[in-house]
Amino acid sequence: MGKLKKGRKNQKARLNPIGSKSQQDLKKDESTRTSKILPLINKLHSTTPNDKSMALGAITILSEDERMRHLLLKEKVIPAVMQTCLNDSNDEIIVEAFGLLRNLGIEEGYDVTKYLWRQDIWTCIESALNKINESFNFLLEKGNVEKDKSKLQLLYDFTENILSLLVVLASGDESMYDSVFNKIDPILDFVLKVIDGHINGGLKVTNKLFDALLEFIYEFSTESIEFVEKLEKFSNWDKLISCVDESSSKLAKIYVEGIKFNNYEVLESTHVNKQQVLGGILHNIFTIETSIDLEKLLERIESIAHPNNANEPIKKDANTLEKDLSSSNETKTETKRDLSTIEVGLSVITAVLEYLSISEDENQDGPVILSPDLERIMFDEIEPMLVELLKFELRTSILQLGDQIIGAINNFCWLMLSNEHLPVAWYEKSLQLWEIVLSINDEKLQMESLGIIWAIIKSLGSEIVDKIPHTFIAKLQQVQATEENASAFLNVLGVLGSIAPIINNTEITFQLSQFLINSIKNACNEPQIGRNLEVIIESLNAIYDIFGDKDFDYDYPIFVQHDYLSLLKDMEPKIKEIYKKIDKSKQPHIKVKMEETWINMDRFIQYKASERE
């Protein structure tokens, strides 16, 4: 119901918290375009390597600012880079060009990745991978005979940029993912070969490249069972884990925990040690995440976003700009790695919590029984960490990970609700969480947090009634179902459906039942819209719960006096028709849920008809 699913990254990347703050004065755009943007793009066509390299470097820096990035894209910076830089005779220019395209894909998401794909970026990537593979083969066979550290660093940067670009492209849409995955075997072989060389001492690579290698494995193993099965050929997992444990890279450690979870979920057949293994992963993530000092991270982000000497960087000459901002590259790199560590850690926690909420009984629909050790990890480590992150983000808005934090807490709440007995500690924790979530001012985040509110109401029932503001109930009744809020609207239905039987106010219960009935009617008018099938299911199930007993004080004045029985009888043929038209091959899960809802509707109508006889 309220659980989140793991899956591909958002097609529109999250905002970059350490990017330069966008300058809002649009009157400057034309001046900026003619004085800065066009000259830099024109310099990409220069035959002088230094001019081209300088222009590419300046464009890379400028593109971190949202306004500048959009001006660059408007002036067709991507085709200019692809035409002039990807096949350049200067390796440094090629490496930086791929890095720029990767960054643009991360920042702008689907629109840019789809454009790159249509411009046949894959041909350029394949050529680059062949060069990279040849270079690594030479180094691994001969031993690291490359004395020029700058050349070695360039190779590592090249490899990192290409692998990261592959991950960005695969996160675009299903067709791009499938196209990349169909050609994944030689790339995976290469990645495992370089990892093997690193952990066995044959060819040590930088932390940055090692992170990129692990990111590649983590991202694809998160998406594909088949990819995880391909990983079985790698025999050095224990050595890899030991190597990462000894490293200083928090990000590498987080990726390994994610890979361990993905491998366990797919490859472990018995799952007899499920809670022990997943508890260990959660504990390790807690240790890694809490080693990041959030206040120091805040200071670093602020110093990068508001440098004292570059409050208005666009007024500077491109050469000066590059020098001013390059000095903070080390700080930027460290900050980006910490942000990625937090983000990936949240993603793994969210997935693990969802997986734990699946019962281990044969039908996977029974209650969950948390072991004492796992319960301790949940309440002493995971919940306090997630709440601390949420409070920090609500106070500073600096991480720009509100959705991810809310998502992890959401799955924590539903795991508690899936437990055979609500843990004693959950009562106080849920009340504290309730106060925090209700204080959220950001409307988008408020909607995202409805799954948490729903789970807490279902957990505490009548004990939470006095803490539900009537203004909150009224506000939710104003929400309209749209394509954009499909998931959030289901949570609206769940929250209101859970409030209705416990609110001790017949008028409010009537209003909420009307909201549910109107939602069913509206959805029945357009059943071809995917979300509407779930709206029907969720709303009808709420009606069954609300009016499940004639002894409820509100049952007679609402259900009987407003003749809900006739209303449901009139609806039933339409519900049956909608159920019959669902394609089982395309929507098997929805087909099963709708069948169950329709059968229960018939039973509910019969029950209510005979209830007062």
Per-residue pLDDT reduced to its tens digit, 219-268: 999 999 999 999 988 889 999 999 999 988 999 999 999 999 999 988 87
How far lies 365's CA from each of 325, 368, 461, 599, in Å?
55, 9, 22, 19
User: CA 14 to CA 400: how far, in whole Å?
Assistant: 7
Instruction: Give mean pLDDT, residues 481-502.
Output: 92
pLDDT band, very low/low/confident/very high, at 486 (cuts 50, 70, 90) = confident
Structure tokens at 152: 């070695």
Q: Is the pLDDT of residue 419 over 50?
A: yes
Mean pLDDT of 134-162: 85
Residue 554 has pLDDT above 90, yes or no: yes
For residue 5, pLDDT beyond 70: no
70-89 pLDDT per residue, tens: 989 998 999 999 999 998 88
Confidence grade of residue 272 (pLDDT, cut at 50, 70, 90): confident
At 483 the pLDDT is 80
pLDDT number for residue 326: 42
Is 162 in contact with 105 (CB distance < 8 Å)?
A: no
Residue 148 CA: distances (Å) to CA of 143, 155, 369: 14, 11, 58
**What whole-number percentage of the chain has pLDDT above 90?**
69
- DSSP 8-class letter at 11: S
Average pLDDT over residues 101-122: 93
pLDDT of residue 320: 43
Query: Rounded to an integer, what distance in angstroms lies between the CA atom of residue 106 and that of residue 100?
Result: 10
604 pLDDT more than 70: yes
pTM for this model (two decimals): 0.89
Q: Is the pLDDT of residue 518 over 90?
A: yes
Phi, psi of 256 (to 5 degrees): -65, -40
Tell whether the model's pLDDT for residue 313 goes beyond 90: no
Neighbouring C-beta atoms of residue 225, cutoff 10 Å? 12
Query: What is the average pLDDT across 540-545?
Result: 97
Is residue 253 within 8 Å of 288, Cβ to Cβ?
yes
265 closest CA partner among 211, 305, 217, 225: 225
Q: For position 323, what pLDDT does the model report? A: 41
Give, in order, the Cα–Cα distances in Å from 474 to each of 456, 520, 585: 19, 19, 40
pLDDT digits (tens, 9 = 90+) for 200-229: 888 889 999 999 999 999 999 999 999 999
- Residue 601 is predicted with a pLDDT of 96
With beta carbons less than 8 A apart as the criterion, state whether 542 and 494 touch: yes
Report percent pLDDT > 70 for the chain.
Answer: 90
Distances (CA, A) of 569 to 11, 270, 540, 578, 605: 43, 46, 13, 15, 7
pLDDT at 426: 96
What was the pLDDT predicted at 232? 86
- Asked if residues 42 and 81 have their Cβ atoms less than 8 Å apart, the reply is no
Name the band, by pLDDT with cuts 50, 70 and 90, for residue 312: very low
Check pLDDT > 50 for residue 331. Answer: yes
- CA 46 to each of CA 40, 52, 73, 454: distance values in angstroms, whole numbers, following the listed order: 10, 6, 20, 60
- What pLDDT is stored for residue 165 in this prediction? 96
Whether residue 13 has pLDDT greater than 50:
no
Tell me the pLDDT band of 508, cut-offs 50, 70 and 90: very high
pLDDT one-digit tens code per residue, 366-411: 788 999 999 999 999 999 999 999 999 999 999 999 999 999 999 9
pLDDT score recorded for residue 389: 98
Ramachandran class of 504: left when φ > 0, alpha when ψ lies in -120 to 50, beta otherwise: left
Ranking 292-301, 319-328, 570-579, 580-589 by mean pLDDT, the lowest is 319-328
Structure tokens at 606: 């019969």
Provide the mean pLDDT of the chain. 88
Using DSSP, state whether 181 is helix, strand or coil.
helix
